[in-house]
Structure 1
Amino acid sequence: MLKNKLIQLLEKTDLHYSDLQINQLVGYVEMLNKWNKAYNLTSVRDPQQMLIKHIVDSLVVSPYLQKTPNKNNKFIDVGTGPGLPGMPLAIANPDSEFTLLDSLGKRIRFITQVNHEQGIKNVTPMLSRVEDHHGEYSGVLSRAFASISDMVHWSHHLVAKDGRFFALKGQLDQEEIEALPEFVKVEEIIQLTVPELEGERHLVVLSKRND
């Protein structure tokens, strides 16, 4: 049963959620699995693996979102795909606002339906290219971009004063860090632990230079 599996995974972390949140996360996975058969939203086919590779992999970032000094509590997930990491993080942080942005209509339709069926109140689905969207956010999140440089180039205009970029990465390439544009600096690189996930996971926290 998916709910039992998710509870087992979370017990191996420091994360704690209400029964409602657990049910919403499981409901999201069930919908993702159902829609995936028709719309090919993710390459992960097994719902049990979705819990590891999509849900817990996203949730482990949650404790670090307060690392942004800007406290407007608005976050944007750029290139969210079917809502990752934005939807699990929104469920985990109901007092924050999350904009989930993607340029493909089928993904945004899916997220809209998740909001409706799971009763998610703090997610705004946004059909747009990153460069065409405007707003000011405490945190800009992404795990979709091939490189961190691409992420900050495309989304630098979305970071509020004292806001942060949160780049979710697998194995970290030192050359990628060294190739970052001059207008950003690395605040912190955090090694993440995801139960039952093979391979490395990192969170790179960046800020815009104020000079």
Structure 2
Amino acid sequence: MLKNNLQSLIEKTDLVINEKQLDLLVCYVEMLNKWNKAYNLTSIRDPNEMLTKHIMDSLVISPYLKGESFIDVGTGPGLPGIPLAIINPDKQFDLVDSLGKRVRFLKQVKFELKIDNIHPVQSRIEEYTVKQFDGVISRAFASLADMLNWCHHLPNQNGIFYALKSMASQEELKYLPNTFTILDVIKLNVPNLNAERNLITIKNNNS
């Protein structure tokens, strides 16, 4: 049932997802639903709702990702990093969160579903300085200004920030530090989601 529902959502987009990837996405939702009962990883309790609000909400940014190495900051239970990693096996994703229970869940997902291109890390994002990335992804993480302040060290020379926001607030965009340039504000279409979604891409002029 879940698989059929996810398939019908994907068919409303231009995404190309194979059978194995579809199965992995469904297994991930099933794991999230199971662990959620004990770990309280997400406020969404209905797996079918997770398909729209978590899986599709993550997958729709895939066509805009440029490069091979990405970091998902404040990943929580692996969103959007795990869905993106499943459909982009050629890209690497560091999933960083400060809460141990979330990182334990991420490690279990990696182990059970054999997703080799995710790397769960427990750390405060401002202390994570081991490497730099082609893309820094954030979803429901913080205000744009805070996100850029805490993550400014993470993109490499050509790296881009990908901020998934419910609304592209003009006020928020106006007060970004002048060391950053907004490249684009992309209106996203998330099937069956009754809310606005935008992807804001930003460049650090100093990187």
Aligned residue for 1:157, secondary structure, equals coil
Q: Contact (CA 8 Å) 2:168, 2:185: kept in 1 or not?
A: no
Equivalent pairs: percent with the same residue? 57
Equivalent residue, structure 1, for 2:123: 128
Equivalent residue, structure 2, for 1:178: 174
What is the distance in 1 between the residues matched to 2:6 and 2:24?
11
Equivalent residue, structure 1, for 2:78: 83
Q: Contact (CA 8 Å) 2:145, 2:177: kept in 1 or not?
A: yes
Could you list the per-position Cα deviations for residues 60-87 of structure 1 after superposition, in whole angstroms to 9, with x for gaps in the alignment? Answer: 0000002xxxx4x110000000000111
1:144 aligns with 2:104: no
What is the distance in 2 between the residues matched to 1:120 and 1:145?
24
What is the distance in 2 between the residues matched to 1:128 and 1:210?
24
Aligned residue for 2:44, secondary structure, equals coil
1:200 aligns with 2:196: yes
AA at the equivalent of 2:203: S
Equivalent residue, structure 2, for 1:106: 101
What is the distance in 1 between the residues matched to 2:197 and 2:140?
14
AA at the equivalent of 1:104: L
Equivalent residue, structure 2, for 1:15: 15
Q: CA deviation at 1:179?
A: 1.1
What is the distance in 2 between the residues matched to 1:165 and 1:171?
16
Q: CA deviation at 1:144?
A: 2.8
Question: Which ranges in structure 1 are unaligned for 5 or more consecutive residues?
Answer: none
What is the distance in 2 between the residues matched to 1:114 and 1:23?
13
TM-score (norm 1): 0.96
AA at the equivalent of 2:16: H
AA at the equivalent of 1:146: A
Equivalent residue, structure 1, for 2:112: 117
What is the distance in 2 between the residues matched to 1:150 and 1:37?
31
Could you list the per-position Cα deviations for residues 114-160 of structure 1 after superposition, in whole angstroms to 9, with x for gaps in the alignment? Answer: 01111101000000000110111000000132311111100010110
Q: CA deviation at 1:105?
A: 0.4
What is the distance in 2 between the residues matched to 1:188 and 1:199?
20
AA at the equivalent of 1:158: L
What is the distance in 2 between the residues matched to 1:16 and 1:112?
27
What is the distance in 1 between the residues matched to 2:170 and 2:123?
31
AA at the equivalent of 1:93: N
Q: CA deviation at 1:210?
A: 4.0
Aligned residue for 1:55, secondary structure, equals helix
Q: What is the aligned-residue RMSD (CA, Å)?
A: 1.0
Aligned residue for 2:191, secondary structure, equals coil
Q: CA deviation at 1:10?
A: 0.1
AA at the equivalent of 1:98: F
AA at the equivalent of 2:51: L
Q: CA deviation at 1:183?
A: 1.1
User: Structure 2 residue aligned with 1:163, among 155, 159, 164?
Assistant: 159
TM-score (norm 2): 0.98
Aligned residue for 1:112, secondary structure, equals helix
What is the distance in 1 between the residues matched to 2:122 and 2:32?
18
